[in-house]
Every structure is written in C-alpha cells, then in structure tokens.
Structure 1
C-alpha cells in the first residue's frame, strides 16, 4: 500500500502528527542545554520530567470531553495550546519553573495526541484500512528533521525559546488545516463502557513499553553521546534524530507490512529487533556505533506503539473508541515519564550505557499481552 494514499486520506490528523513531532524533536535536541540551564543532575532531571505525568493524566479526562465539546475545532485548538505550552521549557531557569513547564507541555501534547489518534482510528474503521503506521511515520519524520535543525541551531547559538517560537509560527500557519469532525455515535451505559477496560490495559501495556523505549532515546541519547562518547552538540542531536529518522522509515514500511501480517506478528518481530538495537547502543564505544544501535532500535520500536493504539480501536465499540484510545494513550504516555526517571536513577548508579541495556530487557516484554488480545479478535 502506498504511504501517500493513507496520508492523503488522513490529511488533518497527519498534519497534527507532524506538528507534535516538530516540538518533541526540538525538545530532545535541546535537552542538554535545558538541563544545564536549570542546574539539575541526571537523577534530578529525570525526576523533574515526572511532572509531565500531571499533564498526561489531565489529558486522559480532557481529551474525550474536548473532542465532543469543540468538534471539528478541537484539533486546531489543541495544536495552538501546544504551541503556547512549549515556549515554557525554553524559558525555564530553574527546577520549579521547568517542572511547571513540563506539566503544561505534557497536557497540551497529550490532548493533541489523543484527538489525532482518535481521528485516525475512526478513519481506519470507516475505510477498513490500516492507517496508523503512516500517521505515526509522519510524526517520526518531523521529529527527525526538527532534531537535526534544532541541533544545528544550538551550534549557531540560537536560544531554545527562539527555536520553539519559530515552531509556533509554523503551527499558526498549519492550524486551520487541522479541522476534522469526530464521528457521532450513540452513547452507551457505564456497564457497557466498562467492557473496554481489558483492551485498554492490555494494549496500553504494549504501547507503554514502546513509548518507554522511545522516550529513553529521545531524552538521554544526546547526553549519552556528548558526555560519555565525547560528541559535539551537533553529534549529540544526531542521536534522537537517528531515532526519528529510522522510526519514520519503520512506520512507513510498517504501513505496507501491516497489510500482509497480523498486528500481533509484527509486534513480536519488532520487539526483538528493537531489543537488539538497544544492546548495540548500550555497548557503543564511539558515536557511530551508538547511531547504529539507535537506528535498529528505531526501526523495531517504530511500529509497536501505533499497532497497540490501532488494536484497542478494533477491540472496543465505536462509541467507546475515543475514550479507550485516550486511556490507552495515557498509559503509553506514562512511559515518557517513567523512562526518564528510571534512566536518571540508573545512570547515576551504573552509567547511561548500562541503563540502555535495561531497555533491551524491557522491549522483550512487549509481546506478553498478545495471547489475550488474539483470543478476543483472531484478525489481530
């Protein structure tokens, strides 16, 4: 299946995926300078990133309500909130201000993410086509391009807040094209909605592992390359950029693979590949080897999260889809909070290289919920 066709079909949510990717790519490339400016150790910085959990939890409750309240305007408004929120990490000068900034950035990102994933899941159901990997591939491509550009901007001495302000201008230009009305389905009773709990937990566990591995590379790869492997700022930015680039390739390729294989089969093979990449990065003696490890990890982990979200959309009733995706996404998003905290603690205890080795073990756990999922939908 062509990648262009799914992206055209999902033009509004695909654009939202690009916008979110631009912000997180720029953030990942600026982690070393933000960390230095607020004066935090590895463990402290990881703990500070935990503050975004408050934002993510609020997104779980706000997203379905905002989706119903604002309708077609929900996604454009969420993107504009995202643009404003991401100015704050660039302005933070201490731990307290950074923690508050991440609460707001996490909430804005979570709100946008839930709504755009819900739109894609609705389109998958409406057209009976696999679309999630192509959209997540758009995120990864934007993430990689943004990380490279932000790294070069750092080399040129551009302030972090100026980088995020420039992305705000891009968001303002793209926001009008994000309008996409949600599907209106009859509401169901509380007991019926409770039947979605199992799919949310099981698919959420898969997404959690994928996002934890992704967050580890996003938040710590630049620091690992610069501090432990002696790389420059531009070389450090290539760590998260390599992840984003190979995740884009993996997701666009996964769009074609998902037509031929069941999602559960893809998750198993992708988990093994990602774990191997994490081990290579953990043992890297020079930046080039680390890039290779991050590339393999990116190719593997790229399809795990999107498939987890796609599967929960197929396991629940249409009326519960947005809420189920919201809850599944929040479980997955918590990986972006848990992983930096764990990595910060492990880094202080055993070093960043060994901490990346722990990610390989984590990735081996991703396929565990698949027997439960297959038992409820043989097509998955």
Structure 2
C-alpha cells in the first residue's frame, strides 16, 4: 500500500492525532517554566501529572459511549475540547488551580485518544490495511514540531498563554478536518452500547504492554527537558531539543513501522522495538553531555515509536467488531495507568536518586516488556490458525 493511499484512508483521523500531539509537545517544552511558576519540586510536579493522568483515565471509561452518542462529530468535538482545556493551566500560578486545570486537560487528551484510536481501528478492519503507525507518526511529528516551536518561543520570552492560544486556533482547523462526513450519524432509537461487556484477555495483556510504552513515553516527554537543563546544564532551547528529538525520531520510527508491518508481525516488531528503546533510555540516563542525551532520546524514540500503535493494531485485529471500541478503550485505560504510575514514581525516584536513576528505571521496564507479549503472540497464532481452517 502506498503512503498516499494510507493518507487518504486516514484523512479524518490524521488531524485528530495531530491535535493531541501539538498540545503535549508544547507542554513538554514549557514544563520547566510551568513547574517553576507554581513553585513545585520534583515530587509535587509528579503528583500534578498524576492528577492529569487520573483525568485521562476517567475520561477513557466513558469514551465509547461518548463516541457512540456523537457519531461522526465525536472526533471533532474531542479536538475542540483538547484545544480549550489546555488553555486553562497557562493562566494560573496557583498550585491548586493549576492541578485542577491539568485534570481537565488530561481528560480531554484521554477522550480524544480513545475516540481516534477506535475509529482508526475500525477503518483498519474495514479496509484490511495497517494504518496505526502512520497515524501515530503524525502524532509524533506534531509533538516534535510543536516542542521545537514552543521551545524557540519560550527561549525568546514568549508567554505560555500566547503560545497555547496560537495552538488553540490551530485546533479549530484540525477539528473541522476531523469531522467524519462519511460516517452516518447514530440512528434514532439505536441501542446504547452495553454498560457491561465481557472483554477478551487480549484487552488486558495488550493494555499492560501499552502501560509500559505510555509510562516510558510520558517519562521522556515530562522529564527530558528537565534532565537536559538541570542534570546536564543546558539552556531552555537546548532543553526543548530533548522532547523534540523524541517526537521526530518517533515519527521516523512509525513511518518505518508502517512499511515494516508488511514483512514482520506486530509481535516480533514490538519485541525488537522494546529492546532498542531500552538501550536508548540507558544511553540518555548515563549521558555526560546534552548531545549524547539527544542521541539516547533519539534511539529511545525510534524503538518506542512502534510499541503502542502495534499493540493497538494487534488488539483491534483480535477483537470482534462490536467489541472493538470497548477493547481499545480498556487497553487504553490500562495503558494510561502508565501516566498514573509514572509521574509520581519518577518524581519520587528523582527526589531520592536523580533523573539519571529515573531513566535507568525506564530502560529496565522496556527490557522486560517482551515477556508480556507471549499471550498476545499465542492469541494471534490461534486466530491465524482458525482463519486458515475456514
């Protein structure tokens, strides 16, 4: 499948992935300034991010019902919500108000994440094409570009309110592009999605792997700029290169993964990616200078890039169509627990032993991730054998 054909199939979901990327990228670059503005130490900042993760997870629980109720407008509305919610933390220096605002920002990101991944999984199932890597590459490119753009603005003294205001205007355009004209609205009287549904084990095994991937991705997004500026003595622009490097290399890795899936199974590619990303995290942790840290974050991004999209694709492929939104939602909820666990864990570890130890812990987790792939590999082989027997 050509990349242009993949873009055509993803023309409604790509803007949604970009919308999420631009806000998290800018937030990563402004992290040192925002952290200082509310007077938070590492442990407190970790708790702030924990609250944001709680918002994400809470929103994910009702995302399938939100998706079903709004129909073709769901992604557009979710894009508008994230564009609004990320404005709120920029307008306060109160720790309490900032934390409350991050709860709303996190909820907007969690809602959009489930809706766009569920819609994309449905397109994959309908067309038989692998599109996850392309769409997640778009998130990474948007994240990296936004991180670099915001870092330059921050270095020039631009207030976060101005930067995020510009991104909010861009979110309006992305929301318009994300409206799914070809998806019919929910028919009057159509049954509501069941409140309780029995999900297959792949939702939970997949969620556990996504948990590690999201934990490590969030760790790098949230702490890489601080690691470069504080541990290695870099400036604001140098610090912004850390998350930008992650975003750009994840974009490259995911585009490569888009083509690799034609030759390599999702499970095998995920195993290799976990080991590569573990080596990158270790290099960043032990880096003596910012350029070496950039290299480490780059290798980390290349490996980390395909873990979550590949697992989402595998989980979606192994799920029945009527269960797919709920399965993706459950895997995402479990996965976003990485955001729930990661910030306080890394904050506490940084308080006790420094950010080098925190990134070494990231490397260890990634090295252990392939063990969780064993049940998914077994389920995939069973599904292939069943399909071949028909």
- The question of whether the paired residues in 1 share the 8 Å contact of 2:79 and 2:174 is answered with no
What's 1:171 paired with? 171
Report the alpha carbon displacement of residue 54 of structure 1 after superposing the two structures with TM. 2.8
| Aligned pairs for 1:106-125 within 5 A | 106-125=106-125
Residue 263, structure 1, aligned to residue 297, structure 2: no
Aligned to 2:155: 155
User: Which residue in the other structure is 1:146 paired with?
Assistant: 146
* Distance in 1 of aligned mates of 2:129 and 2:63: 24
Whole-angstrom CA distance in 1 between matches of 2:225 and 2:103: 23
CA distance in 1, matches of 2:161, 2:96: 17
Residue 225 of structure 2 corresponds to residue 215 of structure 1: no
**Distance apart, 1:314 and its partner CA:** 1.3
1:194 is matched with which residue? 198
Say if 1:133 and 1:252, in contact at 8 Å, map to a contact too: yes
Cα deviation code 1:300-337 (max 9, x no counterpart): 01000111111111122111111111111121122123
Is the CA contact 1:188–1:319 (under 8 Å) kept in the aligned structure 2? no
Q: Does the 8 Å CA contact 1:114/1:326 hold for their aligned counterparts?
A: yes
**What residue is the counterpart of 1:78 in the other structure?**
78
Deviation at 1:199, TM superposition (A): 1.3
Kindly tell me: are residues 297 and 19 of structure 1, through their superposed partners in 2, closer, same or farther at Cα, counting changes over 3 Å? Answer: same
Which sits farther off after the overlay, 28-37 or 51-60?
51-60
What TM-score, normalized by structure 1, do the two folds share?
0.96
Matched, 1:373 2:376: yes
**Aligned-pair Cα RMSD in Å:** 1.8
The CA deviation string for residues 42-71 of structure 1, in whole angstroms up to 9 with x for no partner, is 011001111123312321222111111110
Residue of structure 2 in register with 1:302 after alignment: 305
List per-residue Cα deviations over 1:176-229 (Å, max 9, x = no partner). 2211238989988788x3142x11110001111111111111000001101111
CA distance in 1, matches of 2:165, 2:330: 31
Partner of 2:43: 43
Q: How many residues align?
A: 378
Residues 337 and 3 from structure 1, CA distance in 2 versus in 1: closer, same or farther, beyond 3 angstroms? farther
8 Å CA contact 1:225–1:231 kept in 2: the answer is yes
1:1-380 matches, cutoff 5 A: 1-180=1-180, 181=183, 193-196=197-200, 198-378=201-381
Any gaps of 5 or more consecutive residues in structure 2?
Answer: 385-390
Tell me: CA distance 1:190–1:340, structure 2 relative to 1, closer, same or farther (3 Å): closer
TM-score normalized by the length of structure 2: 0.93
* Whole-angstrom distance in 2 between the partners of 1:237 and 1:314: 37
Structure-2 change in CA distance of 1:195 and 1:330 (3 Å): closer
Instruction: Tell me, in whole angstroms, the C-alpha distance in 1 between the residues paired with 2:220 and 2:184.
Output: 33
SS at match of 1:366: helix
| Structure 2 Cα separation of the partners of residues 4 and 147 of structure 1 | 26
Q: Which runs of 4+ in 1 moved over 4 A?
A: 182-191
CA spacing shift, 1:28–1:183, aligned 2, 3 Å: same
Distance in 2, Cα, partners of 1:354 & 1:57:
27
Contact 1:17 1:138 in 2 (8 A): yes
Counterpart contact for 2:61–2:333, Cα < 8 Å: no
Q: What CA distance in whole angstroms lies between the structure 2 residues aligned with 1:53 and 1:351?
A: 23
| Cα 1:340/1:111, change in 2 over 3 Å | same
TM-fit CA distance, 1:120: 0.7
Q: Contact (CA 8 Å) 1:67, 1:182: kept in 2 or not? A: no
| CA deviation after TM superposition for structure 1 residue 3, in Å | 3.0
Contact 1:124 1:130 in 2 (8 A): yes
For the 8 Å contact 2:202–2:379, the answer to whether it is kept is no
**Structure 1 runs not aligned, ≥5 long:** none
The separation in 2 between residues aligned to 1:233 and 1:55, in whole angstroms, is: 29
